[in-house]
Amino acid sequence: MWWYTLKRLFQGVITVWFIATATFIGMHNVPGDPLSGDRATNATIRANLEARYGLDRPVTEQYFIYMRNMLRGDFGISYTQQNREVNDIIREHFPVSATLGILAVLFAAMGGILFGALTALFRNRLPDYIIMFLVILGISVPSFVFAALSQLSLVNMNNVLGFSILPVAGWGTVSHMLLPALVLGLGTMAYMTRLMRSSMLEVMSSDYIRTARAKGLSPTRIFSRHQLRNAVLPVITVLGPAIAAITTGGFVVELVFAIPGLGRYFVQAVQQLDYTVIMGTTVFYGAFLVFMVILVDLVYGWIDPRVRLQ
Amino acid sequence: MKQEDPKDFAQAPGDRLTRAAGKQLAIYALAAVAVLVAVMFVLNALAGLTSSAAGMSRMAVDVENNIITTYLRDEPPQMNSMLASDAVSGMVLAHVMEGLLRYGPDDELVGGVAERWQQEGNTVTFWLRDDARWSNGEPVTAHDFEFAWKNVLDPAVGSQYAFILYPILNAEQANNGEVPVSEVGVDAVDDRTLVVTLQTPIAYFERMVAYHTYLPVNEEFHRQTNGRYGADADEMLYNGPFMMTSWVHGASMQLEKNPYYWDAERIRLDGINYAHMTSDASTLLNLFKDDQIVIADLGAEMLEEAMLQGWTLNQFMEGTVFYTDFNHRPERLTSNLNLRKAMALVHDAGELVNRVIKLPGYLPGKSLFPVWLPGAEETFREEYPAQEYRRDITKAKEYLQAALDELGLDRLPPLVLLTGDTPVSRIQAEYYQEVFKRNLDIDLVIDAQIFRQRLEKMTAGDFDLVASGWGPDYNDPLTFGDLFASWNLNNRGRYSNPALDAQVRIAQSSLDMEERMRAFGEIQRIIHDDVIMLPDYERGYVYVTHPQVRGIRRHVIGAETDFTNAWIDAGE
């Protein structure tokens, strides 16, 4: 087990290094000038700025300097916010995205497992039809539509009631998080419902359930110990990537609900060619994703002993 | 025991397993809700760490504490007045800082830190008031201005807006690294007297001094911040009507009335709470409807709703002029005057604004000089009305034929229209594609680029036409007037005409306002006759404000939304 963990961690480091290198090469080959602004500047100022960001050196040298600094955990200073370190940006804004992401994944996982199990139990009956219709809706409608719609209906509800049930936008208390987290988790919830449904159906018709029934086990025990626990495995597999995807993919929801998450910096940095922020956020998110995948693999081995044996 | 088909035993109605499973699921759902509630308590505590509780769940107008809540369009990149180059930073700076001069409620120049000032030839003397204080109680002195201005011009600092100090003696040379910064013509004679020597006498220096690059910085404090000046609320000293008490990056900013401000009696609000940072128009409208912010700009689709709600609509010209620039480099087809004339005779800014863009508050462009610019007595455009091309397809075709003859072509190859990636620039580009194809059979290739890439292509001259915009830096026609001077680096089409250059020099150096306006009139005429560019529109906004908040001002120069004269009218 230790050997396996070490091996996975080593693979993870290689992956992150690859992500960093690919991003660095891609970024420097995108046309555009990170130092340009609204107003044209003279050659002296430009030269000084280039020297400050090390852009006057050859690209290969810049790459090695960057990698060395990155190993020390220093992502440099932002181009657009000239006195903020990228480390500060990540430290201040990632917790916001992560908080929102965790809540969204919780919504998604709990709802997905619950509704998935329900549809499987009531297969081809009314609850199944209703839930599966909503699932298709949840998968096919993009989150910005849900975000705008839910915000609008919230405003109208607040207006009708004459007081605020939930804040319309902003960040700070848990009441600010509820709606955005729900919207953010909706797509994943729908996906997990489908996953849970099919895996539940498969388990229901498996031999060991029949054996359990034949043994005369109580239905409660069959359901909770044998059905649910086996059926939930595929859902756990997608949980890790889902956390990473939700945490990093919340840009639209963050924009609509005016949430100060990292997603905004992630997207704006690319538009503004803010080299250091592009590198910082990409490497950070990349490492986060890789770490979540490794974590899930390890947890999976712990839940399902068969994986460890392979 | 009855034989069952294992495939459907779980679905049989009333089956024991389904009932038991249903019960289990219900228990499970209850547990899930309990876990969620617990998690939320934890997250609530966590969120408290990542944001300020002060900015939350307050209504737009807090009568009791005399505070209003509003928003910022974006996170200000920085509040360092010496480096800031964007409108949002400029707006906050106008609330928390004060320069020698500032713009009053009706855009007139009034004394700020300077009690009085006088220009004699190329010497401008500012006498500072003795009660101007920093937010730590220290007096604001002439040295604070000298330090800030010389710092801006230091090439090692690399300020993008250093050019706005260039009228000062040796400023441009110092900024180019040709002379040391100490040679710049700014001298704090004593704590309360600042003497500025200009390169040549100019008539509009005082209008430039109101710009935020001219704001003072306390040298001692600046040194203590160790390069982080303006990065956080406590990394700055304030001398304006308000001071920043908290700045949660990307989320909120709180301003409190500055007790040390010399004219504190004028300020009637006790605080401004920028509780949101977003540019999403529908989010802002929703926040306004939910009584969370005191002002919101409206998009076209929101006008109808605003009318239904019975809101009072206000309009404001934001100041920026948008135009389609031609590439005048000799190797480009667009350097041909007849071709440009043909295109000008087809171009119709009124149609573009009223039938294509359809955004409220936009004005069809007629000139490089926007409608709000001051002239000698009236506005500049009242004194020198803009000449216009009327759409005339027949004449346009004649000019096109003349152009083709001069160029020795049978048919014009496709022209590249470089543009941005915003929705407005896209529909504008598609409209031009349509108009020029239908009327002149000219093919336009749209090259939509993000801002930085568009800039690089503009600088490199990699375009035939480019959608451009220019916003003013100071309240004088020269902020637009020198744009097509042959030496101006922002003249991306590389237009070069000695006649226009001569007029720019008059406008720059003359001390006679009438003469200067005549020069601008002449520049406007040359731009029209030579079709240097096609004016598209002047950007404006339609906005709504909270009925209880009075005295909100919107300025073209300085604070786009100005709350320094605002107050809460609790009677409404």
pLDDT digits (tens, 9 = 90+) for A25-64: 999 988 888 888 777 777 888 888 888 888 888 999 999 9
Residue with tokens 């200067």: B516
Q: What is the pLDDT of residues B160-215, one digit of tens each?
A: 889 999 999 999 999 988 999 999 999 999 999 999 999 999 989 998 999 999 99
To test the contact with chain B by mutation, choose from A29, A30, A41, A144 the residue with the greatest count of B C-beta atoms within 10 A, namely: A41
DSSP state of B386: P
CB B171 within 8 A of CB B165: yes
Of A32, A204, A264, the CB nearest to B452: A32
Among A residues 278-307, those touching chain B with beta carbons less than 8 Å apart: none
Of B80, B276, B457, the CB nearest to A170: B276
B369: left (phi over 0), alpha (psi -120 to 50) or beta: beta
Taking 60 as the threshold, does the pLDDT of residue B12 lie above it? no
Of A117-121, A170-174, B9-13, give the lowest mean pLDDT range: B9-13
Which of B295, B37, B60 is CA-nearest to residue A167? B60
The pLDDT value recorded for residue B57 is 47
| Residue type, position B545, single letter | T
The pLDDT value recorded for residue B516 is 95
Of B9, B83, B289, the CB nearest to A159: B289
**Coil, helix or strand for B177?**
coil
**Coil, helix or strand for B123?**
strand
The pLDDT value recorded for residue A268 is 85
Residue range A251-274: mean pLDDT, rounded: 87
Q: DSSP states of B401-454 as a string?
A: HHHHHHHT-SSPPPEEEEE-SSHHHHHHHHHHHHHHHHHH---EEEEE--HHHH
Of B36, B459, B471, the CB nearest to A106: B36
The DSSP H or E segment spanning B550 is strand B549-550
The pLDDT value recorded for residue B106 is 82
Of B2-6, B82-86, B302-306, give the lowest mean pLDDT range: B2-6
Of B39, B175, B292, the CB nearest to A45: B175
Q: How confident is the model at residue B8 (pLDDT cuts 50, 70, 90)?
A: very low
**Coil, helix or strand for B3?**
coil
Fold of B87-234: Dipeptide-binding Protein; domain 1 (3.90.76)
The pairing of beta strand B271-277 with beta strand B67-72: parallel
Strand partners, B537: B322, B364
Q: What are the C-alpha distances in Å from B423 to residues A78, B303, B427, B539? A: 27, 19, 6, 14
Asked if B471 lies within 8 A of A82 by C-beta distance, the reply is no
Residue with tokens 């010389």: B150
The pLDDT value recorded for residue B451 is 85
B456 contact residues in A (CB cutoff 8 A)? 31-33, 36
What would the two tokens of residue B524 be? 């406007």
The pairing of beta strand B465-470 with beta strand B415-419: parallel
Q: How confident is the model at residue B305 (pLDDT cuts 50, 70, 90)?
A: confident
Nearest CA-CA distance, residue A290 and chain B, Å? 24
Residue range A70-75: mean pLDDT, rounded: 89
Asked if B24 lies within 8 A of A220 by C-beta distance, the reply is yes
Tell me how many helices (H) and strands (E) chain B has: 17, 20
* Cβ-count burial A138-170 (b if 16+ within 10 Å, e if not): beeeebeebbbebbeebbeebeeeeebeebbbb
Q: What is the pLDDT of residues B117-131, one digit of tens each?
A: 999 989 999 999 999
CB A104 within 8 A of CB A147: no
Nearest CA-CA distance, residue B345 and chain A, Å? 30
**Among all residues of chain B, which has the CA nearest to that of A90?**
B249
Task: Decide: pTM greater than 0.95.
Answer: no
The pLDDT value recorded for residue A159 is 82
Nearest CA-CA distance, residue B17 and chain A, Å? 5
Residue with tokens 């007081």: A163
Of B28, B85, B282, the CB nearest to A37: B85
Q: Is the ipTM of this complex over 0.90?
A: no
Among A residues 43-82, those touching chain B with beta carbons less than 8 Å apart: 43-45, 48-49, 52, 80-82
Asked if B280 lies within 8 A of A52 by C-beta distance, the reply is no
The pLDDT value recorded for residue A308 is 62
What would the two tokens of residue A295 be? 């974590």
Nearest CA-CA distance, residue A139 and chain B, Å? 22
Q: What are the C-alpha distances in Å from B22 to residues A33, A220, A248, B29? A: 61, 9, 36, 10
Nearest CA-CA distance, residue B123 and chain A, Å? 26
Q: What is the pLDDT of residues A10-28, one digit of tens each?
A: 999 999 999 999 999 999 9
Average pLDDT in chain B: 90
Tell me the helix, strand and coil percentages in chain A, rounded to 5.
75, 0, 20
Considering the domain boundaries, does residue A245 fall inside one? yes
Asked if B278 lies within 8 A of A118 by C-beta distance, the reply is no
Asked if A99 lies within 8 A of B229 by C-beta distance, the reply is no
Which of B279, B277, B380, B300 is CA-nearest to residue B540? B300
**Coil, helix or strand for B191?**
coil
Cα–Cα distance for residue pair A170/A256, rounded to 1 Å: 9
Tell me how many helices (H) and strands (E) chain A has: 15, 0
Considering the domain boundaries, does residue A247 fall inside one? yes
CB atoms near residue B304 (< 10 Å) = 9
The pLDDT value recorded for residue B51 is 52
Domain boundary assignment for chain B: 87-234
Asked if B39 lies within 8 A of A36 by C-beta distance, the reply is no
Taking 60 as the threshold, does the pLDDT of residue A309 lie above it? no
Q: What angle do CA A163, B37, A110 make, to 5 degrees?
A: 115
DSSP state of B335: G
Interface check for A127 against chain B (CB to CB < 8 A): the answer is: no
The pLDDT value recorded for residue B46 is 66
A225: left (phi over 0), alpha (psi -120 to 50) or beta: alpha
Asked if B159 lies within 8 A of A45 by C-beta distance, the reply is yes
Asked if B77 lies within 8 A of A80 by C-beta distance, the reply is yes
Q: What are the C-alpha distances in Å from B306 to residues A44, A137, A235, B296, B466? A: 51, 32, 47, 11, 35
What would the two tokens of residue B148 be? 């800030």
Average pLDDT in chain A: 86
Cα–Cα distance for residue pair B156/B175, rounded to 1 Å: 9
**CATH classification of the domain holding A202:** 1.10.3720.10
Of A45, A83, A103, the CB nearest to B230: A83
| Residue type, position B379, single letter | T
Taking 60 as the threshold, does the pLDDT of residue B49 lie above it? no
Residue range B270-282: mean pLDDT, rounded: 90
Domain count within chain A:
1
B392: left (phi over 0), alpha (psi -120 to 50) or beta: beta
**Among all residues of chain B, which has the CA nearest to that of A46?**
B158
Cα–Cα distance for residue pair B142/B132, rounded to 1 Å: 11
- All residues at 6 or more sequence positions from B523 whose CB lies less than 8 Å from its CB, including other chains: B368, B481, B484, B500, B503, B504, B507
CB B507 within 8 A of CB B293: no
- Residue A207 is part of which domain span? 92-272
The pLDDT value recorded for residue A48 is 81
The pLDDT value recorded for residue A271 is 84
What would the two tokens of residue B27 be? 């228990």
CB B545 within 8 A of CB B526: no
Of A34, A92, A265, the CB nearest to B452: A34
Nearest CA-CA distance, residue A34 and chain B, Å? 7
Asked if A172 lies within 8 A of B48 by C-beta distance, the reply is yes
**Coil, helix or strand for B535?**
strand
To test the contact with chain B by mutation, choose from A35, A105, A121 the residue with the greatest count of B C-beta atoms within 10 A, namely: A121
Cα–Cα distance for residue pair B284/B358, rounded to 1 Å: 20
Nearest CA-CA distance, residue A68 and chain B, Å? 23
Helices A86-121 & A275-303 angle (0-180, nearest 10): 40
What would the two tokens of residue A24 be? 């660095």
Of B24, B57, B289, the CB nearest to A155: B289
To test the contact with chain A by mutation, choose from B181, B286, B288, B463 the residue with the greatest count of A C-beta atoms within 10 A, namely: B286
| Residue type, position B79, single letter | M
Asked if A40 lies within 8 A of B489 by C-beta distance, the reply is yes
Q: How confident is the model at residue A80 (pLDDT cuts 50, 70, 90)?
A: confident
Q: What is the pLDDT of residues A157-175, one digit of tens each?
A: 888 887 778 888 888 778 8
| Residue type, position B156, single letter | A
